[in-house]
């Protein structure tokens, strides 16, 4: 049973464009939703995270949008750059209670 | 500041052989995790530990054992390796107050022939 469903599997975006990656979850007890970024040959690194008491969180060019009623959250990368090319994972957990459950990942390629 | 260090970086095993993957963290984190990453499957939790001397099963624990005898170390053992265990293994750690902020090592690429 996949608790966090991520789409698309891969994404190609022009430099300067907007990259959008979506995740959906089933467990309404989840209350912490991070995104991780992974470059080839490296471990994932925390990029940005949100809790369900807010609908949006922005850090620089990266924004998480959260829709509690639809049980969906998404990552938006504004003004995408070739250096953003990486694999992105969404995740969810019940804070203080369970380990993170990860989506299957999205491979983003930003082309000039 | 080393963060999370995994050894070895690469390993090739024959079916039936055993090995131990080592993970060390220098951030005094309480929680430690072992994940495996396979193409199209994302990161799947094998085992985790919420403190020294404690371990718990994750999503895919079969064929693996773990030990956490010291707070800074988390060992993953394969008693009898199988080709299905060919994967990239990641260790991670997190603190008590920021449990969802995982710090990952750079992985161990294991091939079982």
**Regions of chain A with pLDDT less than 50:** none
Indicate the residue of A42, A45, A104 with minimum beta-carbon distance to B40. A104
A32 bridge partner residues: A93
At B99 the pLDDT is 83
CA B32 to chain centroid, in Å, comes to 8
Q: Which residues contact B76 (CB under 8 A, 6 or more apart)?
A: B20, B21, B23, B34, B46, B47, B64, B65, B66, B89, B91
> Is A7 within 8 Å of A103 (Cβ atoms)?
no
Residue A5's pLDDT is 96
Q: Cα torsion at A3, A8, A14, A17 (round to 10°)?
A: -50
Q: What is the pLDDT of residues B40-58, one digit of tens each?
A: 889 999 999 999 999 999 9
Q: Does A89 touch chain B (CB under 8 A)?
A: yes
The rounded distance, in Å, linking the Cα atoms of A4 and A19 is 19
Nearest CA in chain B to A1: B59
Residue A97's pLDDT is 66
Which residue does chain B place closest to A47, by CA atoms?
B101
């Amino acid at each position: 049973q996949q608790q966090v469903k991520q789409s698309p599997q891969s994404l190609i975006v022009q430099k300067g464009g907007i990259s959008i990656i979506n995740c959906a979850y089933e467990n309404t007890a989840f209350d912490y939703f991070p995104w991780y970024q992974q470059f080839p040959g490296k471990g994932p690194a925390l990029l940005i995270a949100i809790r369900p008491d807010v609908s949006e969180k922005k850090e620089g060019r990266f924004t998480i949008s959260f829709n509690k009623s639809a049980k969906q959250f998404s990552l938006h990368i504004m003004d995408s750059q070739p250096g953003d090319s990486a694999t992105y994972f969404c995740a969810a957990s019940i804070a203080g209670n369970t380990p993170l459950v990860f989506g299957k990942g999205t491979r983003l390629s930003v082309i000039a | 500041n080393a963060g999370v260090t995994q050894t070895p970086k690469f390993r090739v095993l024959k079916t039936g052989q055993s090995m131990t993957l080592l993970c060390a963290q220098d951030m005094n984190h309480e929680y430690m995790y072992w994940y495996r990453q396979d193409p199209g499957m994302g990161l799947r939790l094998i085992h985790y530990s919420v403190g020294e001397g404690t371990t718990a099963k994750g999503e895919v624990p079969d064929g693996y054992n773990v030990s956490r005898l010291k707070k800074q170390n988390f060992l993953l053992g394969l008693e009898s390796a199988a080709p299905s265990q060919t994967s990239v293994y990641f260790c991670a750690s997190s603190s008590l107050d920021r449990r969802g902020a995982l710090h990952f090592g750079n992985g161990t690429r294991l091939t079982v022939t």
